[in-house]
Structure formats: C-alpha cells, structure tokens
Amino acid sequence: MAALSGGLAPGAAAADVQGQQWYLTAMQADEMWQVSTGEGVKVAVIDSGVNAGTPSLTGQVLTDEVPEAVGYKATEDYSGHGTSMAELIVGTGSGGGLKGLAPGAKVVPYRLAFPDLKNAEEARKAPNTAQAIRAAANSDAKIISMSFTAPTDYPEEAAAIKYAQSKGKLMFAGVGNDAETKNLIGYPAAYPYVVGVAASDEEGTVGGFSEHGNYVDLAAPGLNVPTWCDATFRSYCRGRGTSQATAIASASAALVWSAHPDWTANQVLASLIDTAGRDWARDDPSTYLGYGLIRPRKVLEDAGFTPGPAGTDPLAGENAIGVTDDPEASPSAPASSAAPEDATGGRTSAAASGSDASGDTTTWVALGAGAALVIGGGAFAVARARRGA
C-alpha cells in the first residue's frame, strides 16, 4: 500500500491560483525562465494518473509515449493528485491554472493503484510501482518524479530503481508527511539512487509533518502550494506535502538539465546539491533538510558552472550505507518547525525514518539578515541535526 504524500485544506478554493504560487517569486522563476524553461526535457510522473485535458496541461502530456503494457488509463486521474503534480512541473498556466516551474518540459504519465482508487478492476489492471519505474527507465524521460510513499521495502522495486539509475535517470520522491505521528522509513525515497525531498514553507522552515531521517537529501517548497481539490477538476485548494516539494524539485532538475543537455544525472544532481541553501558543511547534511533548500537559479545564473565528473554519484556515501536511522530512537520534529496552517489536510502517508542513532541533538539555527539563506528572493530558516552516518 502506498499513500500520496500531499494534504489539502478543505474549502480553500483558489480564486487566483497563480497568485498563491508564492514559491515562483521566491525562486525568481521569471529570471530563470529567461535562461531555461525546461524545454527538451521529459519528466515521468508516476502517480494517480494525469488528466491531459486541463487547460494548463494541454499539449504538455505525452500520452503516446506510455507503453500499452503499463499505460492503462494513464490519462484518467482518479484523485486529482497526479494532475496537480504534473501542473506544478510543466503547467502552462493557461485558463488560470497552475504555472509549472518548468513549463517548457513535458510529462510522461504512469498510473498506479493507490488506496484512493476504489475500482477493483481498475486497480487490478494498473501496473505496480516496479513495472512503472522500469517503463520510465526505458523511456526518453530523463527525470522520474514519485510523489508517494509506502513503509515497505520491496526487492522488485529496489531492483527497478537500480535499473533506472543504470539507464541514467534522475529520481525524486517525497519523504512523507507523518513526522508528527509515525515517522517511519518511507519508500521509494529511502532506496539508494532516489533523491528524498522534504517540504519547507514560505520562510524556509521545514514543515512539522515532513519526515526526517538520513535519506532526506534536499528540501523544496511544499506548504501552502495549491493543487486540485479532487478529481472533478473544478477548483484548486491550498495544499501541503512532500508531494508538492517533490514536483518542484523535479521541475528544478528539468530547468538545469535543459540548460545543460550534455550533463549526466549525476552532474545535474551535484549542481543542485552544491548550490542548495544551507549554513552547514556540504559533507555534514541535516536529517531534516538534507543538503539544503533547492536553488536552481544559482546554477542557471552561472554559465560556467562546473558540476563535477559525469560518472561520480554525489550521493555515493548515502547510497553505499543505505538507511541507517534507528526508528526506535526517533525524536519528534521540534515545536518550532512551524506546523502548517492546513494541518487538518486529508492525505497523509506512512513514511521516513527518525534521526540517527548517534545521539546528536537537534539545533535550530536562527538566521539574522546577514546570515539568511536565500532561495531567490526569500529568506529561509533551517533545521539542523547531523546524520552521524
């Protein structure tokens, strides 16, 4: 069983949904789009399906590129979640819809059977996660975006992830939204070669719900990010979750890869890690924000950016060690981690592990004007806890 890692605030329909996309201003999207819009990059969205008929996704979804064997109803979204993720990545904003961070990129949709899918026959015909990942690995998509999580490590999924990595794909997954209750280890984020993404708010503070552990690699905006309220596609709601953060991280990678089409997945990821907002050493990542807050602008504005060797995995240490956190020793997120306004949102997920078992304490770094981390124009406070892996 897998859960979609995004929550919605009931009754929060957006009159001006693009005006609620605060992170586009914070990340200086208009300036980035002068350099790159993601053109030429395809993103595989493995989710609840993608409705290719919304105004914002017209012409953005490559339905013909999904193999028949795994493409059952790939463009029929039974919850609205997959469509929301696709719009956050490649939406054009047409018709007042969501504006994607990488509007020049394209989406290849894959539909899984999450608990929201009540039709048993449709659930039976849907591919499993491993099948969808392998299909995406064999496609022209450079990036695989997975905004879902489950508490079980399946050998066939791990093998599919390794296969996708061998095919040069860059994979992102949300670490989950149950830090305040379970904080279990969540997959696929915890698999080697998958970039685990945490969620931050407008101030750059990690969401209190956002799972933490030694496989959190990057953080991206994930609070008060609008998504479709449901599968009727009549209105948007205020959303929160590592789902949204995963989509925005995937779009960030698309922007960078479009600007540097000769780079490998390792180099794109290395560039995002090197430029992430943090005030700690790069080789001492946080259990809450990993290597920091994603800032693709810092890569795009430097035409001579050097991403490192093509064959060097920037997460080689973590991938070799695997998940080392001890769930029994897991602390809850600090009270100052800013619980989201829509804490009553519906979707949650069983995911992620706790802090490391080395006994390191959690320290919150208060940043003044001179020390603020900046992702575009917005200042971001950060949570700090060494992994001690």
Catalytic residue among 5, 81, 201, 252: 81
Distance of alpha carbon 349 from the chain centroid: 14
Name the region of 215 (left: φ>0; alpha: ψ -120 to 50; beta: rest): alpha
Identify whether 243 is a catalytic site residue: yes
d(CA 325, CA 357): 6
d(CA 190, CA 192): 7
- Looking at beta carbons, which pairs linking 233-237 to residues 24 or more positions away fall under 8 Å? 233/51, 233/54, 233/80, 233/83, 235/13, 235/14, 236/13, 236/14, 236/17, 236/20, 236/98, 237/8, 237/9, 237/10, 237/11, 237/12, 237/13, 237/14
Catalytic residue among 5, 243, 349, 355: 243
Residue 109, helix vs strand vs coil: strand
d(CA 176, CA 184): 9
Identify whether 81 is a catalytic site residue: yes
Catalytic residue among 47, 77, 342, 356: 47
Element (H, E) at 227: strand 223-228
Active site residues: 47, 81, 243
